[in-house]
A and B are shown apart, each in its own frame.
Chain A
């Protein structure tokens, strides 16, 4: 460094200040992520979709709906490298990303079915490089929860037009790709969800004409590492 006495001093104090600043930033990021992860664990117990109406932030951090084939949430965060391949191949553009600044889940894929639901084409599961989304075939949905487990639809009888007896809306039954497996019609065409068969794609939620959505996809209580692991497990 060529420069005379005073300027060199200034550069040095500058440098020290800069290093201090960088140290501060690093420490605060580190501390923030530590506190954040504890916070996330706590929030993880709350049902995400209930929170969605309150605040999107709470929705993101408490476990948004993941694309089909997603492994259990903790493992998903470990595996997902946020490469956005899944969103690129999704034909209806159902996959979105958690906004940055939303804690450790920032930039991970999720689905918000009431705006755009998944059509279960399974393209995302085949393109994911790390098996954060386990590879699935299109037929796998007929095995229900055993293979595909995004969530479970729930009917709110206080809102459903048919349940209230106002009219005869068959929207959710008509659109469901798993008719009679996941959703059945009872007396007076009232829809009823069969949790074992429902894969949680959210097409019913997307199409429901009630503004507040009388049928909603909720996260499953416990997601196990499902039996879709290909033969000869590739993870060690």
Chain B
């Protein structure tokens, strides 16, 4: 399962890297056909090494191929708003922030968020763990952090309140209304990562977003483990809210659990599967399941009320007997 998840994450990273290159090749093809002097100049001069190599490669790939235009236009965008084979998939945060900034409800766009919305209603923050490109970078970053701890350098680990991210979501929504434009677009990491990659590939320069991402990664390395996703991300907050009624969740099997605490250590979001506090914040990364030596954790179909009653039941047993289970 970790293999599938990693492949999907790498696939998404590849997508946000290759799609701009593909479209850059489209620009190149247009420039070759046109007689405009400024376009010709553009063609030769302002391309970086990666771009040049990619264009040469695609030249070889698409040699003698008729449907190049079709291939190029078949996929556009990033997970924030993807246009693939005529289907649109967008981030729920895009629709929410845009509608609340005062654009009104635009139904074709609202329908394009249904995919991620249903996925979240079913699985909670599955976008975070399986698709978000920033999450992947942060996980790699976390590996580095673990390496530091292993070498004996203990980075700080600040804990903030989990509800901070809902506050951030609320504040930014309110200020989006006041400003009359969506403010999430400046700080929402999955969008920022893909946009900066796009800027680099298309225009050869990057914007403020890159520094923002570097800042996040650096502070996550030194000050507070995964603080952005755990405590701050407004997108994560929205997905958590959608996931509060999730139908499939990670459930601990009490009979098997030996309370070794491996799962608590493994959770990148700082949740505590051993004390059943996963709920709406779990991103389905499955690391706790992989870490458990007794196979006590598994995905189960379990609506909200059942989970509640189960946890209450467990608490009562704990109080009565003084032991777990």
| 9-residue interface stretch from B141-149, B175-183, B247-255 | B175-183
B305 at the interface (CB under 8 A from A): no
Q: Which residue of A lies closest to B106 (CB)?
A: A235
Bound Cα distance from A82 to B26, whole angstroms = 21
Bound Cα distance from A236 to B108, whole angstroms = 11
Q: Which residue of B lies closest to A97 (CB)?
A: B199
Residues of chain B with a CB closer than 8 A to A14's CB:
156, 158
**Residue pair A30, B171 in contact (C-beta under 8 Å):** yes
Residues of chain A with a CB closer than 8 A to B203's CB:
96-97
Identify which of B20, B83, B181, B185 gathers the most chain A CB atoms within 10 Å of its CB: B181
Partner pick for B30 among A26, A91, A101, CB 8 A cutoff:
A91
Partner pick for A26 among B42, B80, B171, CB 8 A cutoff:
B171
A47 at the interface (CB under 8 A from B): no
B323 at the interface (CB under 8 A from A): no
Residues 162-192 of B, flagged 1 when their CB comes within 8 A of A and 0 if not, give 0000001001000100111111011000010
| 9-residue interface stretch from B71-79, B129-137, B237-245 | B71-79
**Residue pair B171, A82 in contact (C-beta under 8 Å):** no
Bound Cα distance from A32 to B291, whole angstroms = 46
The tally of residues in A whose CB lies under 8 Å from a CB in B reads 49
**Residue pair B83, A81 in contact (C-beta under 8 Å):** no
Give chain A nearest CB distance to B260 CB in angstroms.
Answer: 17
**Residue pair B186, A84 in contact (C-beta under 8 Å):** no
**Residue pair A75, B103 in contact (C-beta under 8 Å):** yes
Q: Which residue of A lies closest to B168 (CB)?
A: A26
**Residue pair B207, A130 in contact (C-beta under 8 Å):** no
**Residue pair A85, B183 in contact (C-beta under 8 Å):** no
Residues of chain B with a CB closer than 8 A to A87's CB:
198, 202
Q: Which residue of B lies closest to A114 (CB)?
A: B38
Residues of chain B with a CB closer than 8 A to A210's CB:
none
A159 at the interface (CB under 8 A from B): no
Give chain A nearest CB distance to B68 CB in angstroms.
Answer: 13
**Residue pair A88, B23 in contact (C-beta under 8 Å):** yes
Give chain A nearest CB distance to B131 CB in angstroms.
Answer: 16
Q: Which residue of A lies closest to B196 (CB)?
A: A100
Bound Cα distance from A130 to B182, whole angstroms = 13
Q: A15-B159, A89-B76 are in contact. Are A129 and B183 (CB under 8 A)?
A: no
A24 at the interface (CB under 8 A from B): no
Residues of chain A with a CB closer than 8 A to B97's CB:
81
B209 at the interface (CB under 8 A from A): yes
B259 at the interface (CB under 8 A from A): no
Give chain B nearest CB distance to A35 CB in angstroms.
Answer: 11
Bound Cα distance from A91 to B31, whole angstroms = 8
The tally of residues in B whose CB lies under 8 Å from a CB in A reads 60
**Residue pair B38, A206 in contact (C-beta under 8 Å):** yes
B311 at the interface (CB under 8 A from A): no
A179 at the interface (CB under 8 A from B): no
Interface of B is mostly: helix
Bound Cα distance from A131 to B112, whole angstroms = 14
Q: A78-B101, A130-B106, A236-B104 are in contact. Are A85 and B181 (CB under 8 A)?
A: no
**Residue pair B180, A107 in contact (C-beta under 8 Å):** no
**Residue pair B209, A100 in contact (C-beta under 8 Å):** yes
Residues of chain B with a CB closer than 8 A to A101's CB:
207-208
Residues 73-95 of B, flagged 1 when their CB comes within 8 A of A and 0 if not, give 10011101101000010100010
**Residue pair A30, B158 in contact (C-beta under 8 Å):** no
Residues of chain B with a CB closer than 8 A to A192's CB:
none
Bound Cα distance from A63 to B303, whole angstroms = 50
Residues 93-123 of B, flagged 1 when their CB comes within 8 A of A and 0 if not, give 0100110011111111100100000000000
Residues of chain B with a CB closer than 8 A to A89's CB:
23, 26, 73, 76
Interface residues of B in 1-56 (CB under 8 A from A): 19-20, 23, 26-27, 30-31, 34, 36, 38-39, 42
Residues of chain A with a CB closer than 8 A to B42's CB:
93, 116
Residues 26-51 of A, flagged 1 when their CB comes within 8 A of B and 0 if not, give 10001001101100000000000000
Identify which of A11, A92, A101, A116 gathers the most chain B CB atoms within 10 Å of its CB: A92
**Residue pair A81, B27 in contact (C-beta under 8 Å):** no
Residues of chain B with a CB closer than 8 A to A83's CB:
77-78, 80-81, 90, 94, 191
Residues of chain B with a CB closer than 8 A to A164's CB:
none
A157 at the interface (CB under 8 A from B): no
Bound Cα distance from A31 to B233, whole angstroms = 20
Bound Cα distance from A102 to B139, whole angstroms = 32
Q: Which residue of A lies closest to B178 (CB)?
A: A34
B195 at the interface (CB under 8 A from A): yes
**Residue pair A15, B105 in contact (C-beta under 8 Å):** no
Instruction: List 3 A-B pairs, minimum CB-CB distance, nearest first.
Output: A100-B208, A91-B30, A83-B81
Kindly list 17 other residue pairs between chains A and B, CB separation below 8 angstroms, not including A79-B103, A83-B78, A130-B109.
A19-B160, A33-B175, A37-B178, A78-B180, A85-B83, A88-B198, A88-B202, A91-B27, A91-B30, A92-B31, A92-B36, A92-B39, A97-B207, A104-B180, A106-B207, A116-B39, A206-B38
Task: Give 16 A-B contacts (CB < 8 Å), ordered by A residue.
Answer: A15-B160, A19-B160, A30-B171, A33-B178, A77-B181, A81-B97, A81-B98, A82-B182, A83-B80, A83-B81, A84-B77, A100-B209, A104-B183, A106-B207, A107-B207, A130-B103
